Chain A
Amino acid sequence: MASIDLEKMLVKIKNTQWSLADIDWEAPGAELITEEQWPKLKEFMSDLMWIEHVGARAFAAMAKKAPNDTLREIYNYFHAEEQRHANAEMALMKRWGMLEGDEIPEPNINLRLVIEWLDRYADEMPVYVLGTVVPMLEIALDGALCTFLLETVDDPVCHQAFEKINDDESRHLGVGFTVMEMQGHGKTYIKAAKMLAPLLDPRLLLGIASYFPLLNKMRDNVIAMGLPEEKLYAAMNKFEKIGGRTADGRRNPWFQIIRQHAKFVVNRSNRVYHVPVDAVVRLTGHIPRRALPAVPSWVKELTYRPAA
């Protein structure tokens, strides 16, 4: 996959918009969800739609920091597209009878912490930090969670929606890896050191403290759903393969960090990493929800309704 022309990509993004109204949410097939699947699926979907929001909120922050107008506009679209995915996933949940009235699904606590962090600090983070983490999360999502969902759920409307969602995600990844390469382009040692400087920023450390347990938590959720964890790891390995296919990509120090970290995650026998992180997952599980600040007002924009 060669680097893409961002101008052309923007035109393509504009020309391939879809909306919730394009899907018939009442079409038959909802009954194909089994009794046994239902409760786990509800939890899975709740997390999935909130992961869309991690991406959405990160894209919103990246739009502020984008190095040029084209990329800024692209990120603005991606922000909205991630929200569209969350809306579509909510529409599926509604279809499957998983939402009462105007109820909004509850994310797991680790997702909630990441979102809290994003909302507080993401706007101040340099674009290349988020620009590397987001493709990682997306590839894990795209490669594992969505595929798994389609393998286990027979509802044709779900397949229809995810065909559209996956099309969008492949564009997000295309842009994501191109930008990672752009940032690694001709980097001198000094520039690379500058890119790493935010590692000393306590706000970023906080971010890392919520990102690590998130991945482990998601792994646990995936296993609970019956997905072989290797599928998740295979998807994460793709990050290394695509991100590292060019010298520019490999030169990006943030790519190296995230790649290295992914290796830790994938290697279950690395107890030095997993024992403490799993402990944090358990610990955060005890945080009472009311101890968290109120959700940001953008959460109220979520809706499963195709028209407003």
Chain B
Amino acid sequence: MSTVSETRKPRRKAAARKTTKAGARSASSSSSRTDAVVARSEVLIIGAGFAGLGSAIRLRQQGIEDIVILERATDVGGTWRDNTYPGAACDIPSNLYSFSFAQNPEWSRSFSGGSEILRYVHHLADHYNLRPLVRFEHNVESMQYDDQRGVWCVKTSKGVFEGRSVVMAQGPLSNASLPNIAGIEDYQGHKIHSAMWDHDYDFEGKRVAVIGTGASGIQIIPELVKKAGFVKVFQRTPGWVLPRPDFETPGWNKALFRRFPASQDAMRKALYLFHESVALGIIWDTPLTALVERIGRLHLRMQVKDRWLRRQLTPDFRIGCKRVLMSSDYYPALQKDNCKLITWPIARLSEKGIRTVEGIEHQFDCIVFATGFDVSHSGTPFPVTGRDGRVLGEEWSGGAQAYKSINVSGYPNLYMTFGPNSGPGHNSALVYMEAQIDYLVRGIQTLRERKLKALDVKPDAQRAFNRDIQRRLAKTNWNSGCKSWYLTEDGFNATMFPGFATQFARQMAAFDLGDYTELPA
């Protein structure tokens, strides 16, 4: 039986574009039962993950209370609610992977596990009393801007919600994706996707395949090797793996942070600066790049003695080009007696297992897909129709573009968290997220203060911004020639921010009203 649910199957690009048009059409028809307007609010937030909840907290702190959060799941938490696979953990120190305005002195480890991070998200929801704002099991299907009234009509599975401003905080990595492998439907054994873990499945003594050796894969593998009978790991390209100094936080440390919050601030600052310095090696090709690569190679050499295995695990691209992996127990796990790394290309899935090109059928009781997420660089997660019926997915078909990653011209009062070119490669996503949240709060506040109907970014400002971003990206390691989920098929980078987190924060700190057209109420 498959545990990978139908609704989250990867959507091929062409199909996604088709839904864009179809969805836009159905959004404008009013025949369906779900088209009844359920509620109106000043701000609609899509998604109750870190970004959605953080936006609500900050908006409220500025006195903006009329908020509705639409969430398709039954609970808050986003990524950390969904990714509960064994070994799920943060690869950024927890002290930095938390909001600066809601610090947690109680982190139990330097790199906390997923369940502890989820507890922190629950704490945010409860402490700031956010749950009453959330409409659970409301899946956003499309949204359309009503130019006349200056409101967004957001169609959900349970009716239409209207809002003056919309925050799209549906997450950059929230739709699990299965790989495009022939015969994936033929396999009759158990299937599990890392983002939809099946906690009822007993791995004891089972023959298990793990497809994918990215950030999730390398966390899952050491845990599975402890339990399963035999684990075969299917790798397409080896990534750079750096050691992860994970240790338990001593009691005195927690007490210190509790008593003197300034000490935690200082720690956070130090971690932040450390990660900023790593950017020098990871984002651009500098002498530091060679140094970080040397650390990676040394780590491999120290942990893997066999020459051939080491060769199989040695990346053939510059560090930083793809996401850098952090783990101290991945290489040792691969060398356990009940584990084997397989680097032969996969020919197809068959009824009993995986056929690889060296002609062998590897048979399994269970296949774990650690194959990541459906990251669309050229579409939108659901159809978004702006002014004059323009469709965002169509405008982005050649690669997504936005102004400062957060607004798009022609789509007034619409804010995106982790919009185009906001991705961090070396620092905590939450640092970037906070900067985006503060920006969107400014925008929504401005609307209120200046009694405007809408703020729409000027096309020229957006163009100039993107020219600059793409020029800067051309000099980065991401654009140095490897294939990664950061890039489109044609090599367009619509994902990453080409600079330090500090530069991103500075970009987001400046709210330049001159770049916007103000539409009066």
Contacts and interface: CB of A to CB of B under 8 A. Distances in A.
Interface of A: 14, 17-21, 64, 69, 73, 76-77, 80-81, 83-84, 87-88, 123, 296-298, 301, 303, 305-308
A18 B307 CA distance: 30
B348 interface: yes
Interface in B467-484: 483
Nearest to B357: A80
Contacts of A296: 307-308
Contact of B357 (A17, A301, A303): A17
A123 B311 contact: yes
Contacts of B309: 297
Nearest to B306: A297
Interface stretch (B1-9, B197-205, B294-302, B360-368): B360-368
Instruction: Kindly state the interface size class of chain B when it binds its partner.
Output: 20 to 34
Interface of B: 306-309, 311, 316, 344-345, 347-348, 350, 352-353, 355-363, 483
Contacts of B361: 19-21, 306-308
Contacts, number: 64
A69 B317 CA distance: 12
Contacts of B344: 80, 83
Contacts of A303: 360
Contacts of A20: 359-361
Contact of B358 (A14, A297, A301): A301
A306 B357 CA distance: 12
A305 B359 CA distance: 9
A297 B307 contact: yes
Contacts of B308: 296-298
Nearest to A120: B307
16 contacts: A14-B347, A19-B361, A21-B350, A69-B483, A77-B345, A80-B345, A80-B356, A84-B359, A123-B311, A296-B307, A297-B309, A301-B358, A303-B360, A307-B361, A307-B363, A308-B362
A279 B356 CA distance: 42
A299 to B, nearest CB: 9
Nearest to A299: B308
Given A297-B306, A307-B361, A308-B362, A21 B355 contact: yes
A76 B347 CA distance: 12
A298 B350 CA distance: 25
Contact of B355 (A19, A87, A305): A19
A301 B347 CA distance: 17
A2 to B, nearest CB: 27
Contacts of A297: 306-309
Q: Which of B307, B308, B483 has the most CB of A within 10 A?
A: B308
Contact of A306 (B311, B345, B360, B483): B360
Given A123-B311, A297-B308, A307-B363, A87 B345 contact: no
Q: Which of A123, A306, A308 has the most CB of B within 10 A?
A: A308
